[in-house]
Structure 1
């Protein structure tokens, strides 16, 4: 049975509120921010289990509601199917690996993602011929990393951005990928005994602060330059990632 004292409980609730705030402003980042913060104090598998329910619920609306669902499915189904398969495989790696080292891998992913965003680097737009094999390759890689670290952000987001999708297609495509990968992660972790019932119930506690943070973030988005906020968040994520990597590999 996993237990939380008052300080730990307050930190977990605060992490979900901050992560929801980031998602409200930027439209992404709830699982990545949650994991980056929770992995500072808890083993990575526990952090991944805690973020499952809030991530699932906050991605349902983003992915399923909107006019782009069917066009996104028609174009991205190889990417999405490979992401699910990769996540299930990654959960198997998680069950057999040192969680401390995987938290370091999460840190490296955060640093890489922040560096790409802050430097303004973008992947080249794939031609239709290359897209046919790149989509399942990138989807599988993103899924594998999701199964191992819980974060679907990299390389999924840079690749979808490189495809130059219309904004609504990008939002729903990324949301759908995150939703399916998180569902696969839950199944994979449960199948390998990494999702104890008490952590599943504890994950429900994060739903309210996550949605509260999203509501606050949505208000802030209307009052401040989004680009400036994204830069601040990327710097913060990069520093958290650097700390996780140094702690794991030093």
Structure 2
């Protein structure tokens, strides 16, 4: 699709219904398990548009839902003191990859998105757990952040490898959810700056991103209700199985 924001005869932007449905689903997943909004939104929207066009729509919904998640945590100052090397790496990786791969071929972008979703889904389904020792965290954090930033700049997906790294720090449940919100917030801001410099973030995209905010917040509220009623293990299995299918679809489409 050449231009997501062409106007149809009735004066309404194309695909608004699709955007609404996708962000309700993505918000529901985030509300239920604390992550997944950018992954689900990018994955589904990329069925009909380029990943970076989808990433532009993601800016406001991702930012405000992450602020919501971030504000609900126990100790932001403590997390900032501990995680700033990773967060700095996220910014550096996003900007470096944005400059180096500004004209990424859509085929390579689709392949990267597919691989990111497949790896993320397989790790989630396998419930892989590992621990990072304190002396390793000091040098590993900026490396993890930089790689995460580069993947974000190319695919629009924030989760890898930052989420497995945060889980490996063995934070308490509330602190883990808050740390993910913090990492996602920084990734969202860095991606927005990157898209702005690349000329991919204009007023029309900002307007549609604002439109996407409402269903994302509604979905997140529904997801929080669902979390209290549904078996979280079953939900996570269904979620990661769906991501695996999406990842295979994108990867196969890129190499076929």
TM value normalised by structure 2? 0.93
Mapping of residues 116-155 of structure 1, within 5 Å: 116-122=123-129, 124-155=130-161
Residue aligning to 1:18: 25
Offset at 1:44? Answer: 1.3
SS at match of 1:154: coil
Distance 1:33 1:72, change over 3 A: same
Q: Distance in 2 between matches of 1:221 and 1:53?
A: 24
Residue aligning to 2:75: 68
Mapping of residues 78-157 of structure 1, within 5 Å: 78-122=85-129, 124-157=130-163
Cα-to-partner distance string for 1:100-121 (whole Å, 9 max, x where unaligned) = 3212211111110110111122
Residues 6 and 14, structure 2, Cα contact 8 Å, conserved in 1: no
Distance 1:64 1:84, change over 3 A: farther
Residue aligning to 1:216: 222
Q: Does 1:59 align with 2:62?
A: no
Distance 1:235 1:182, change over 3 A: same
Offset at 1:92? Answer: 2.4
- Mind listing any 5+ residue stretches in structure 2 that lack a counterpart? none
Residue aligning to 2:236: 230
Q: Distance in 2 between matches of 1:3 and 1:205?
A: 16
Residue aligning to 2:206: 200
Distance 1:223 1:248, change over 3 A: same
Q: Distance in 2 between matches of 1:99 and 1:182?
A: 21
Q: Distance in 2 between matches of 1:189 and 1:236?
A: 28
Distance 1:34 1:71, change over 3 A: same
RMSD: 1.5
Offset at 1:4? Answer: 5.9
SS at match of 2:74: coil
SS at match of 1:37: helix
- Mind listing any 5+ residue stretches in structure 1 that lack a counterpart? none
Residues 43 and 100, structure 1, Cα contact 8 Å, conserved in 2: no
Residue aligning to 1:174: 180
Offset at 1:65? Answer: 4.2
TM value normalised by structure 1? 0.95
Distance 1:233 1:143, change over 3 A: same
Residues 88 and 145, structure 2, Cα contact 8 Å, conserved in 1: yes
Distance 1:102 1:202, change over 3 A: same
SS at match of 1:112: helix
